[in-house]
C-alpha cells in the first residue's frame, strides 16, 4: 500500500511548511521528528548526510525534503515531498503579493517593509556563518571562506570564480 506513504509525506511536510517562518531550514528539527522519529524512514546519520548533500548542491535549501521523499518513495516521493513543502505556502505568498500591490505606497506598509530589511540581511549573514561552521575543521577551509567573503564583498566579479577556486583548492590540498 505505497499510497499510504505518499499520503504521509504530503500531510507531514504540508503541515511542517505552514509553520516554517524564517525559511524552510527553520523547521529542520520538525523534519527530523517526522522522518526519523515518527515514521522511522531513516536514522539520524542518514538524515544528516542527506542534509549535507542538499546543502552542497545548488538550489533552494528546502529541496532537502526532496531527498527525504526520494529515499522513501523514489521520484514520486521526491515530487510529493517538494510539492507538499512548497505549494500551500505559495498560495499564501501569492495572495500576500496581491495585497501588497494593492496597498503599495501606504506609509505603514513602507515602515513594515523597511523594518524587516535588517532581519533579512542579518539572516543571510547567519546562514553564511552556519555554512562556514560546517566546513571549518582546520585553517584551510576557514581561509577559503574568508578569502571568498572579501572577494565577493569588495569586487563585482562573479562569485562563481570563488566557487571554482574553492573546488580546485579542495581537490589539491584537502
Partner 1 sequence: MTDDPQPRPVPTLGDLFLTYGKIGLIGFGGINAWARRVLVEEKRWLSDQDYAETLGLGQVLPGPNALNAAIMIGDRFHGTAGAIAAPVAMFGGPLILLAGLAMLYDAYGDLPTMRAVLIGVGAAAAGMVLGTAAKMTEKLKPPPPLLAIGLIALVAAGILRVPLPVTVLGLAPFGIWAAWWAMRKP
83-102 residues near partner 1, rule: CB under 8 A: 85-86, 88-90, 92-94, 96-98, 100-101
Touching partner 1, residues 111-130 (CB under 8 A)? 111-130
Q: Kindly tell me which residue out of 24, 35, 73, 80 binds partner 1, with binding defined by CB under 8 A.
A: 24
Window of 2-10, 34-42, 82-90 that interacts with partner 1 by CB under 8 A = 82-90
Rounded least distance, CB 8 to partner 1, Å: 19
Residue 11 interacts with partner 1 (CB under 8 A): yes or no:
no
Touching partner 1, residues 144-163 (CB under 8 A)? 144-154, 156, 158-160, 162-163
User: Which whole-number Å values give the CA distances from 115 to 105, 108, 111, in the listed order?
Assistant: 15, 10, 6
- What is the rounded distance in angstroms from the CA atom of residue 82 to the CA atom of residue 77? 9
Rounded least distance, CB 43 to partner 1, Å: 15
Residue 142 interacts with partner 1 (CB under 8 A): yes or no:
yes
Q: Are 162 and 149 a contacting pair, CB within 8 Å? A: no
Task: Please state the separation of Cα 122 from the chain's center in Å.
Answer: 16
Three-state DSSP class for 172?
helix
Which of the 8 DSSP states describes residue 25?
A: G
Between 1 and 155, CB nearer to partner 1: 155
Write the binding mask 36 to 75 for partner 1: x where contact by CB under 8 A, - elsewhere. Answer: -------------x---xxxxxxxxxxx--xx--xx---x
Between 40 and 58, CB nearer to partner 1: 58
> For partner 1, how many residues bind (rule: CB under 8 A)?
97
Burial classification of residue 146, based on how many CB atoms lie within 10 Å of its CB (0-12 exposed, 13-18 middle, 19 or more buried): exposed
User: Which residue in 65, 76, 50, 67 sits closest to 12, CA to CA?
Assistant: 65
User: Which residue in 84, 96, 75, 100 sits closest to 10, CA to CA?
Assistant: 84
Amino acid at each position: 500500500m505505497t499510497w499510504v506513504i505518499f499520503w504521509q509525506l504530503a500531510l507531514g511536510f504540508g503541515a511542517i511548511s505552514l509553520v516554517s517562518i524564517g525559511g524552510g531550514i527553520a523547521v529542520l528539527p520538525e523534519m527530523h521528528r517526522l522522518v526519523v522519529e515518527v515514521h522511522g524512514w531513516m536514522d539520524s546519520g542518514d538524515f544528516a548526510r542527506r542534509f549535507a548533500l542538499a546543502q552542497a548542491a545548488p538550489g533552494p535549501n528546502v529541496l532537502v525534503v526532496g531527498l527525504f521523499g526520494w529515499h522513501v518513495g523514489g521520484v514520486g516521493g521526491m515530487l510529493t515531498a517538494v510539492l507538499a513543502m512548497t505549494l500551500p505556502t505559495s498560495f499564501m505568498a501569492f495572495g500576500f503579493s496581491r495585497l501588497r500591490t494593492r496597498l503599495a505606497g501606504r506609509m505603514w506598509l513602507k515602515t513594515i517593509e523597511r523594518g524587516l530589511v535588517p532581519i533579512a540581511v542579518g539572516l543571510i549573514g547567519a546562514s553564511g556563518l552556519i555554512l562556514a561552521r560546517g566546513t571549518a575543521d582546520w585553517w584551510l577551509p576557514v581561509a577559503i571562506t574568508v578569502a571568498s567573503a572579501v572577494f565577493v564583498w569588495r569586487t563585482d566579479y562573479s562569485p562563481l570564480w570563488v566557487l571554482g577556486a574553492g573546488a580546485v583548492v579542495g581537490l589539491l590540498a584537502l
